[in-house]
Amino acid sequence: MTIGVWVLGDQLWAGQSALQSCGCSTVPPGGNRQPTPVIFIESLHHAQELPYHLQKLVLLWSAMRHFADELRQDGWDVTYKQGIDFKTPLLAWIEQHQIIELRVMTPTDRPFAKLIEQLDLPCKITLTPSNRFIWNDQDLISWANSRKRLVMEDFYREGRRRFNVLMEGDQPIAGRWNFDKENRKPPKGKLNLPEALWFQPDQMTQEVIDWVRASPEFKDSQDYWSIEPFQWGVTRQQALQVLEFFIQTRLSEFGPYQDAMVTGEQTMWHAMLSPYLNLGLLHPLEVLEAAEQAYYQNQTEWELNSVEGFVRQILGWREYMHCIYLHMGEDYPSSNYFNHTQPLPGFYFTGDTKMNCLHQVLTQVKETGYAHHIQRLMVLSNFGLIAGVSPQELQDWFHAAFVDGYDWVMQTNVIGMGQFADGGLMASKPYAASANYINNMSDYCKHCAYDRRDRTGENACPFNFFYWDFLDRHQDKLKKNHRMGQIMFNLARFSDEERQLIRDMQLDAAAQVLRRLQAVKRPG
Ligand code: FAD
Ligand code: SF4
């Protein structure tokens, strides 16, 4: 009787439940000890479902290949296959190893779980419970079912208590749960920004780069995404180095400038840990413990707002997003509260726009597949929202463009948080903003062809007229939201003439975007 394990691309650590459930060798009844068969599959069909960033493909496949090698060295019987689909290599491997039970850790992404359900393999399939998050799935579902409103702050406090993080008895350390107010400093004056930790590709990674570059399947994407310099870590060892580097050089200053954006500074004090966490190279609990321990060791010099701010990201936002994903039904990704249907502007793929904020962030995404949270939320997603872009088109773009993008984290962040397309199930108001916000939190407006102060006129910043027109277009829905009261009051003071002018500018800009969109050839 042979049990085999299929390791999925975002389950790359030895402690994952399917590997753990077998051990690296087993003794069949009456037989000798045998190494457990394990399979990894790179599916070309799956990789072509969206026009993925080339660095995302390289990161995933190189990390899989490295992890497969590590398991081999630890005594597992590893098969590594590349195929069009998943089924053909699986069938051959099952037959070769006479596998009667296939174990897979339950996939986090729903479409992948469905794909496995429909595989129709000639052996039993056992899904082992996922152990990749801090909360287990059952507890998350129970928490969500027990609430009328799924408020992140409530969830976060429950997590702090439950896992005893930064607590003194049943109270938060220093008597406060939340330091958000201290963590919104604009980037004024001279900032001493830390360096990021990047890596040179080793031979295995270089082979993947060369292969992806030469593959006709990904030819179109080469006009849009840079494949080199490829500088991401691809092993657990490197991921641990990034964690250590973050704790040593950034954590103590993480908080105050969390929302700030500076030209040419890709990462500020952000951790750059999401690609590694989402592949399974790091576990969120070890990240959390490392941050908390560093705080207690440096308590006399470090401010609590930075460490609390980081803990809030990992134990709060990340786990909460997973909770929402588990709780919401299958139709969640098609939510469209504002009925937005504009196509995604072609410049999301090229970076070619006169709007400097978008140009800067899109160019960075092209080069690295990464942008930090506020760049994603208040530049890329904000523009989509106020310009009325289809949430589903925007989500597909985010999914393709970001090295850390997966279904579970994309839907909640783009559909829910960024686009308010779920009508406010998780966000208490839409994250919509004019140039005022971007000017306050960045230096982008200083170098822009548009005037951040103008709402109308030839040089008016598009964020302004799209923003005010968004409020005007949707005032029936937005007036009901008590957090929008002041801004809707401000809108009511605009003259009819100004509203009409803003509407015309918005319509004209939207038509221009459409015209340009038709001129841009998109990948995929
Ligand atoms: P830091 O700012 O240093 O934060 C530390 C960690 O906290 C991150 O590594 C991440 O694991 C976690 N975290 C913080 N906020 C969130 C959140 N809202 N959701 C999930 N985890 C969070 N995150 C992804 O992992 N994948 C995505 O595809 C993704 N898409 C996003 C799209 C939009 C529109 C928005 C607004 C946010 C998105 N996020 C996504 C969340 C967040 O922006 C990234 O996790 C973060 O920018 C990653 O960079 P970092 O590791 O330097 O994060
Ligand atoms: Fe962006 Fe407008 Fe500022 Fe230009 S002026 S950088 S378009 S917000």
pLDDT tens readout for residues 459-493: 999 999 999 999 999 999 999 999 999 999 999 99
- Which residue in this structure is represented by tokens 């429909």? 118
Q: What is the pLDDT of residue 98?
A: 95
Ligand 2 pocket: which of 263, 352, 356 to mutate (most atoms within 8 A of CB): 356
- Report the separation in Å between the CA atom of 249 and the middle of ligand 2, taken as the mean of its atom positions: 31
In the three-class reduction of DSSP (H, G, I as helix; E, B as strand; rest coil), residue 353 is classed as coil
Q: What is the pLDDT of residue 25?
A: 79
Q: Rounded to an integer, what distance in angstroms lies between the CA atom of residue 326 and that of residue 377?
A: 22
Q: Is 318 in the pocket of ligand 1 (CB under 6 A)?
A: yes
Q: Kindly state the tokens that stand for 61.
A: 């496949």
- Report the separation in Å between the CA atom of 280 and the middle of ligand 1, taken as the mean of its atom positions: 15
Ligand nearest to C-alpha 416: 1
In the three-class reduction of DSSP (H, G, I as helix; E, B as strand; rest coil), residue 389 is classed as strand
Q: Residue 489 burial (CB < 10 Å; 0-12/13-18/19+)? A: exposed
Output the residue whose Cα is nearest ligand 2's atom 6.
445
Contacts of residue 169, defined as CB under 8 A and 6 or more positions apart, other chains included, come to none
- Report the separation in Å between the CA atom of 425 and the middle of ligand 1, taken as the mean of its atom positions: 19
Please provide the size of the chain in residues. 524
Other Cβ atoms within 10 Å of 222 Cβ, number: 14
Question: Relative to the CA of 314, which ligand 1 atom is closest?
Answer: 7
Output the residue whose Cα is nearest ligand 1's atom 28.
405
- Report the separation in Å between the CA atom of 462 and the middle of ligand 2, taken as the mean of its atom positions: 7
- Which residue in this structure is represented by tokens 């221009």? 512
From residue 334, alpha-carbon distances to 157, 208, 393, 501, 520 in Å are 30, 34, 10, 33, 26
Q: Rounded to an integer, what distance in angstroms lies between the CA atom of residue 187 and that of residue 89?
A: 52
- Report the separation in Å between the CA atom of 312 and the middle of ligand 2, taken as the mean of its atom positions: 30
List, in sequence order, every residue forming a beta bridge with 105; answer none if it has no partner: 128
- Report the separation in Å between the CA atom of 410 and the middle of ligand 1, taken as the mean of its atom positions: 9
- Report the separation in Å between the CA atom of 247 and the middle of ligand 2, taken as the mean of its atom positions: 34
DSSP H/E element including 511: helix 496-519
Q: What is the pLDDT of residue 189?
A: 83
One-letter identity of residue 192: N
In 3D space, the residue among 271, 258, 278, 287 whose CA is nearest the CA of residue 322 turns out to be 278
Q: Kindly state the tokens that stand for 16.
A: 């994952």
CA dihedral 9, 10, 14, 18 (to 10 degrees): -80
In the three-class reduction of DSSP (H, G, I as helix; E, B as strand; rest coil), residue 283 is classed as coil
In the three-class reduction of DSSP (H, G, I as helix; E, B as strand; rest coil), residue 291 is classed as helix
Q: What is the pLDDT of residue 465?
A: 94
Output the residue whose Cα is nearest ligand 1's atom 24.
404
Other Cβ atoms within 10 Å of 322 Cβ, number: 22
- Report the separation in Å between the CA atom of 404 and the middle of ligand 1, taken as the mean of its atom positions: 8
Ligand nearest to C-alpha 413: 1
Q: Is 417 in the pocket of ligand 1 (CB under 6 A)?
A: yes
Question: Relative to the CA of 377, which ligand 1 atom is closest?
Answer: 36
Other Cβ atoms within 10 Å of 320 Cβ, number: 25
Characterize 291-304 residue by residue with b for buried, 16 or more Cβ atoms within 10 angstroms of its Cβ, and e for exposed: bbebbeeeeeebbb
Q: Kindly state the tokens that stand for 3.
A: 């049990």
- Report the separation in Å between the CA atom of 375 and the middle of ligand 1, taken as the mean of its atom positions: 11
Ligand 1 pocket: which of 10, 270, 323, 373 to mutate (most atoms within 8 A of CB): 373
Which residue stretches of the chain have pLDDT < 70?
A: 1, 28-29, 513-524
One-letter identity of residue 509: A
- Which residue in this structure is represented by tokens 């009667």? 100
Ligand nearest to C-alpha 53: 1
Question: Relative to the CA of 358, which ligand 2 atom is closest?
Answer: 1
Ligand nearest to C-alpha 275: 1
Q: Kindly state the tokens that stand for 128.
A: 């082992």
Q: Where are the alpha helices (DSSP H) in 44-165?
A: 44-47, 54-73, 87-97, 110-117, 137-145, 152-162
- Report the separation in Å between the CA atom of 255 and the middle of ligand 1, taken as the mean of its atom positions: 15
From residue 512, alpha-carbon distances to 102, 186, 390, 506, 515 in Å are 53, 33, 17, 10, 5
Output the residue whose Cα is nearest ligand 1's atom 36.
377
In 3D space, the residue among 420, 419, 342, 408 whose CA is nearest the CA of residue 380 turns out to be 419
Q: Rounded to an integer, what distance in angstroms lies between the CA atom of residue 194 and that of residue 247?
A: 12
Q: Is 283 in the pocket of ligand 1 (CB under 6 A)?
A: no
In 3D space, the residue among 365, 278, 268 whose CA is nearest the CA of residue 54 turns out to be 365
- Report the separation in Å between the CA atom of 444 and the middle of ligand 2, taken as the mean of its atom positions: 7
Q: What is the pLDDT of residue 524?
A: 53
In 3D space, the residue among 190, 218, 300 whose CA is nearest the CA of residue 524 turns out to be 218
Q: Are strands 34-35 and 25-26 parallel, antiparallel or unpaired?
A: antiparallel
Q: Rounded to an integer, what distance in angstroms lies between the CA atom of residue 194 and that of residue 190?
A: 13
Backbone dihedral region for residue 31 (phi beyond 0: left; psi -120 to 50: alpha; all else: beta): beta
In the three-class reduction of DSSP (H, G, I as helix; E, B as strand; rest coil), residue 226 is classed as coil
Q: Is 373 in the pocket of ligand 1 (CB under 6 A)?
A: yes
- Which residue in this structure is represented by tokens 């406010």? 424
